[in-house]
Amino acid sequence: MSEETEQVDIMYGLKTVLSRIDVAVSKRSKDLPQIMPTMVAVSKIKPASLIIQAYEAGQRHFGENYVNELSEKAQDPQILEMCKDIKWHFIGHLQTNKINKLLQSPNLYMVETVDSAKLADNLNKQWEKFRQGDVKLKVMVQVNTSAEDAKNGIEPSEASTLVKHVLENCPNLDCKGLMTIGQYDYDVSLGPNPDFLLLAKCRQEVCQNLNLDIDHVELSMGMSADFEHAIELGATTVRVGSTIFGARPIKHQ
């Protein structure tokens, strides 16, 4: 762990992000569902000690994009002891051979990255084994709004079909909404981010096609660089990492 990481003031980071969220909510178009966004603190690469600090400052939702890392942190004895109400969101690409490992993680709250009927079917089947009590597994359908090959997610035109599949064929899953990652480094001076607009449009189509109440279909979009912009365009879940926990080392592709 670098010295900078240790010096990050988690409490300050959380407070700042939450107040920026409040301001963004007040600027959101009144045509959009006025849902107070859930802020998922993305703790990838960051140690358990920082997660515990954030938890103690009041944060409950945490996101990880690798199954092994989520699984390890979720089973960390200190986290289990001190963060009893923690809610883990899986936000990475989920391979079939990692499903069981993910579903065995204590306090798994939501899988945001369901991008095929096959993955939904697998999760539905395996959740029967791993769930505690009668709780359904919350999921979101991931949409590839930026049409980049490197990004996962289904085509926007397929969103309704996949949501319908989950609603009709996956009784152990609770489909909460749509999620996108979108292109990085979009320049907002060019206008509203087309990825966010497209995800909002997908939600409209899904709600129309399947006769769903738009107030109950969430949109997970927006990260450190653009979460306020995403909220103004309708995000109900934002995933914020570096603004809270400090910068991550640059990944070499």
Ligand X SMILES: *Cc1c(COP(=O)(O)O)cnc(C)c1O
Closest-CA residue to 144 (of 117, 179, 176, 185): 179
What are 44's two structure tokens? 């990838």
Q: Does 91 bind ligand X (CB under 6 A)?
A: yes
Nearest approach in angstroms of CB 125 to ligand X is 25
Exposure class string for 7-40: b at 16+ Cβ within 10 A, else e: ebebeebbeebeebbeebbeebeeebeebebbbb
Q: Which is nearer to ligand X, 87 or 164 (CB)?
A: 87
Q: Which is nearer to ligand X, 55 or 245 (CB)?
A: 245
Nearest approach in angstroms of CB 245 to ligand X is 8
Neighbours of 134 (CB within 10 A): 6
Q: Does 65 bind ligand X (CB under 6 A)?
A: yes
Q: Which is nearer to ligand X, 65 or 105 (CB)?
A: 65
What secondary structure does DSSP assign to 135-154, as a single string? PPEEEEEEB-TT--TTS-SB
189, amino acid identity: S
Q: Which is nearer to ligand X, 212 or 244 (CB)?
A: 244
Q: Of 6-14, 54-62, 205-213, 223-231, which segment contacts ligand X by CB under 6 A? A: 223-231
Exposure of 187 by Cβ count < 10 A (0-12 exposed, 13-18 middle, 19+ buried)? Answer: exposed
Which of residues 44, 89, 151, 165 is near ligand X by CB under 6 A? 44
Neighbours of 249 (CB within 10 A): 8
| Residue with the shortest CB distance to ligand X | 241
Q: Does 35 bind ligand X (CB under 6 A)?
A: no
Q: Does 224 bind ligand X (CB under 6 A)?
A: yes
Q: Which is nearer to ligand X, 13 or 156 (CB)?
A: 13
Which of residues 109, 193, 240, 246 is near ligand X by CB under 6 A? 240
Give the C-alpha separation, 221 to 147, whole Å: 16
Which of residues 13, 156, 241, 246 is near ligand X by CB under 6 A? 241
- From residue 136 to residue 175, the character string flagging contacts with ligand X as x (rule: CB under 6 A) and all else as - is ----------------------------------------
Q: Does 181 bind ligand X (CB under 6 A)?
A: yes
Give the C-alpha separation, 78 to 177, whole Å: 32
Q: Which is nearer to ligand X, 89 or 203 (CB)?
A: 89
**E strands, the chain, where?**
38-42, 61-64, 87-90, 108-114, 137-142, 173-179, 218-220, 237-240
Closest-CA residue to 230 (of 96, 53, 58, 40): 40
Q: Which is nearer to ligand X, 118 or 248 (CB)?
A: 248
Residues forming the site for ligand X (CB under 6 A)? 42, 44, 65, 91, 181, 223-225, 239-243
